[in-house]
Structure 1
Amino acid sequence: MDLLETVIIAIVEGLTEFLPVSSTGHMIIAQSLLGVESTPFVKAFTVIIQFGAILSVICLYWKRFFYPNAESRGESYWHSMFNFYARLVVGVLPAVVLGLAFNDFIESNLGNVQLVAWMLIIGGIFMLFCDRIFNKGSEDTKLTYKRAFIIGLVQCISMIPGVSRSMSTIVGGMSQRLTRKAAAEFSFFLAVPTMLGATCLEMYKMLTHGSGSLLTQGNNLETLIIGSVVAFVVAILAIKFFINYVTKYGFAAFGWYRIIVGIIIIACGLMGVEMKMVD
């Protein structure tokens, strides 16, 4: 990849990773339009630059990660720390278990572009009405272990390409009567262990399957650094915009956007435009 392709793909990653619009669907469009070949390094790049997005969440919500008792009700520092991280573990556990159990199914459907398009449309239609269905009159921000586990279960739906991890976790939070803001913020927090695990796994594969030299070939290391920095900056802006927007207006606009993107992908297929997933 050249510098322009690196920056564009990183911008797409940073913009879409935390929004309920499916980063997978957008990566299909971006890489197809740019004509980026799906090499082992490109595959690793699209996963590893998520580390920049992870840092954006920690940067914006550092008090919640390191001083969670600031918003607790009389809990000690260590008790609050334990509860905060324990809820993250409870929330991510279903994805770990089901991800391992259905790994073959997930892998076999990653290249199904039509499935992505239809999931974008179906999810978009659902988001047009989710405010009315789940969050009417809700003012609750308390996250219990039960709620964290249920949100984690709903997150597993995002194993279907095109559903969107962010959308599934936010809807899961709203189904538990959390406010829009509280549901979105826990979605961000839950992304940290989920995406960190994916990044570490990809690095492990690179270092243990004879491809560690990818980091030293050409400008690959520089490309990873640039991509991660761009994803970090863009993700910060995306998160700030998203929280402010959904708190005021809800999710309908993202629903319409998903529908439009899904229709574009289907239309491209009907016109014979080849669109490929990252292998």
Structure 2
Amino acid sequence: MDVVLLVKAAIMGVVEGLTEFLPISSTGHLILAGSLLGFDDAKAKVFDIAIQTGAIFAVILVYWQKIRATLVALPTQRQAQRFVLNVLIGFLPAVVLGLLFGKAIKAHLFTPVVVASTFIIGGFIILWAERRSPAATRIQSVDDMTPLDALKVGLVQCLAMVPGTSRSGSTIIGGMLLGLSRKAATDFSFFLAIPTLIGAGGYSLYKERALLSVADLPMFITGLVFSFLSAWLCVRWLLRYISTHSFVPFAYYRIVFGIVVLVTAWTGWVQWAD
């Protein structure tokens, strides 16, 4: 058993869990962390996507009461049916555009410089979104969303195909710009993550199955476990945080972190691997 590899897997799992649901881009952080750790070959890229499933289990656990109540009411209650339909509608654009453009994006845009640039751009977009008038908010709960609202958020989610953009950042900030309250946008982002990330993880494992073997199981299990634990802590904290705070600190984090990556890349202080 390669202990060093398991330590790297644990670190990557923590990075995934802590960043997946914050508007700071888990993929971007995984690319940067993998570059620093030398954990960035083809198998590592499959690993990065697969361990998102651990983070999703954390969301399912945190939202279990809502999920269970929806499943129980699904056969008879219109509100539960509309909620599930909205999640599926929001999920659909990622499936279509991911199949069409996912391979090309991974081949050309998964680089530290691209990640750093989108970090900075995304930070300024968050600042702009947070300065909008609260009067623009028209949806207070995910149960108030229409199928058209869900489709719009689903289309915005596709921006996160560009690494460094942030899936949660796209859906939360995009949802706020479309009229959702901060709480409604965050909740729908989490629910939308369930089919999106499970689907992406399962598809990636199936597509790249020739790269994998039974010997890789300890690495994947380690990453999943640490991803689950760190995501569970992060989601619980974020839901408390947004009740009294804005996303402005995350915007400044993105801008500063992006500048640091660009400066260290241009000066050669850090050898970021492309």
Give the TM-score normalised by structure 2: 0.89
- Cα distance between partner residues in 2 of 1:108 and 1:216: 27
Which residue matches 1:267? 263
Contact 1:54 1:195 in 2 (8 A): yes
Residue 81 of structure 1: CA displacement? 3.6
In the TM superposition, what are the counterparts of 1:232-251 in structure 2 within 5 Å?
A: 232-251=228-247
In the TM superposition, what are the counterparts of 1:188-207 in structure 2 within 5 Å?
A: 188-207=190-209
What 5-or-longer segments of structure 1 have no aligned partner? none
Contact 2:6 2:218 in 1 (8 A): no
Which residue matches 1:17? 20
Residue 114 of structure 2 is aligned to residue 115 of structure 1: yes
- Cα distance between partner residues in 1 of 2:214 and 2:104: 33
2:219 to 214, 220, 223: 223
What 5-or-longer segments of structure 2 have no aligned partner? none
Residue 197 of structure 1: CA displacement? 0.8
User: In structure 2, what residue type is equivalent to 1:244?
Assistant: R
- Cα distance between partner residues in 2 of 1:123 and 1:135: 21
Moved more, 128-137 or 10-19: 128-137
Could you list the per-position Cα deviations for residues 95-136 of structure 1 after superposition, in whole angstroms to 9, with x for gaps in the alignment?
222222333542333333322211110110121231222645
SS of 2:184's equivalent in the other structure is helix
Which residue matches 1:100? 99
Give the TM-score normalised by structure 1: 0.88
Which residue matches 1:88? 87
Which residue matches 1:63? 65
Could you list the per-position Cα deviations for residues 21-42 of structure 1 after superposition, in whole angstroms to 9, with x for gaps in the alignment?
0112211321222232x33332
Which residue matches 1:276? 273
- Cα distance between partner residues in 2 of 1:222 and 1:2: 10
Compared CA separation, residues 69 and 48, structure 1 to 2 (3 A): closer
1:7 to 1, 5, 10: 10
In the TM superposition, what are the counterparts of 1:172-183 in structure 2 within 5 Å?
A: 172-183=174-185
Contact 2:55 2:228 in 1 (8 A): yes
Contact 1:50 1:231 in 2 (8 A): yes
Tell me the number of residue pairs that the alignment of Structure 1 and Structure 2 aligns.
267
RMSD, aligned α-carbons = 2.2
Which residue matches 2:37? 34
- Cα distance between partner residues in 1 of 2:243 and 2:66: 19
